[in-house]
Amino acid sequence: MTVLAGDGTARTFDYRAGDVGYVPFANGHYIQNIGDQTFWFLEMFKSDWFVDVSLNQWMALTPRYLVKTNLHVGPELLDALRKVKYPVVKYPGFTYYPK
């Protein structure tokens, strides 16, 4: 999991089964399964209000030159970004219609 702070810093942590991670208030985070088995995690919030912001979609909708210049990335990453937001979890019987 990588935690992204508003001051431009980020820290990455590796977790194993049974570990607990913490993301400070107003920090973004990115979770990636780097193993070869199914990954399940439980995310809890102190608030009853939740907003999911897709970093992938955000960067895809940002002018390419800004993403390229600020993140020092190449065309492979820029071409892989999706302008349509995908759900984190699809539930059985739920149909997702991207806007």
pLDDT tens for the chain, residues 1 to 99: 999 988 889 999 999 888 999 999 888 888 888 888 888 888 888 877 777 778 889 999 999 999 999 989 999 999 999 999 876 665 566 555 554
Question: One of 41, 43, 55, 87 is an active-site residue; which one?
Answer: 43
Place of tokens 């399964």: 33
Domain with 76, as residue range(s), is: 52-99
State residue 95's pLDDT score.
54
Q: Are residues 7 and 21 in the same domain?
A: yes
Asked if residue 57 and residue 97 are part of one domain, the reply reads yes
Q: Clarify whether residues 43 and 56 are in a common domain.
A: no
Report in angstroms the alpha-carbon separations of 58 from 46, 62, 67.
Answer: 25, 6, 10
Domain shared by 60 and 41, yes or no: no
* Same domain? 57 vs 94: yes
- State residue 98's pLDDT score: 52
Give residue 44's pLDDT: 83
Q: Judge whether 76 counts as a catalytic residue.
A: no
Q: Domain check: are 56 and 24 in the same one? A: no
- The total domain count for the chain is 2
Q: Are residues 35 and 68 in the same domain?
A: no
64 to 72, 79, 88, 96: CA distances (angstroms): 11, 9, 24, 27
Strands 2-4 and 28-30: antiparallel
Do 37 and 57 lie in a common domain? no
**Which sign does the torsion angle of CA 65, 70, 75, 77 carry?**
negative
Residues 66 and 32 in one domain: no
